[in-house]
Amino acid sequence: MGGNTRKAIGDSITGLMDTLLKNNSLKENRIISIVISVTVDLTAANPATLLRGSGKFASTPLFTVQEAVFDESPRDIIRVLVHARKRSGRSPVPVYINGAEKLRTDLFPGT
Q: Domain-by-domain residue ranges, the chain?
A: 6-103
Given this model, what pLDDT does residue 111 score? Answer: 62
Q: What is the per-residue burial (b if ≥16 Cβ within 10 Å, else e) of 70-105?
A: eeeeeebbbbbebebeeeeeeeeeebbebebeeeee
pLDDT by position in tens, the chain (length 111): 679 999 999 999 999 999 999 999 999 999 999 999 999 999 999 999 999 999 999 999 999 999 999 998 889 999 999 999 877 777 888 888 888 888 888 887 776
pLDDT at 39: 96
Predicted TM-score of the model (pTM): 0.87
pLDDT number for residue 100 = 84
Residues 11-38: tens digit of each pLDDT: 999 999 999 999 999 999 999 999 999 9
Range 6-103 has CATH code 1.10.10.60: no
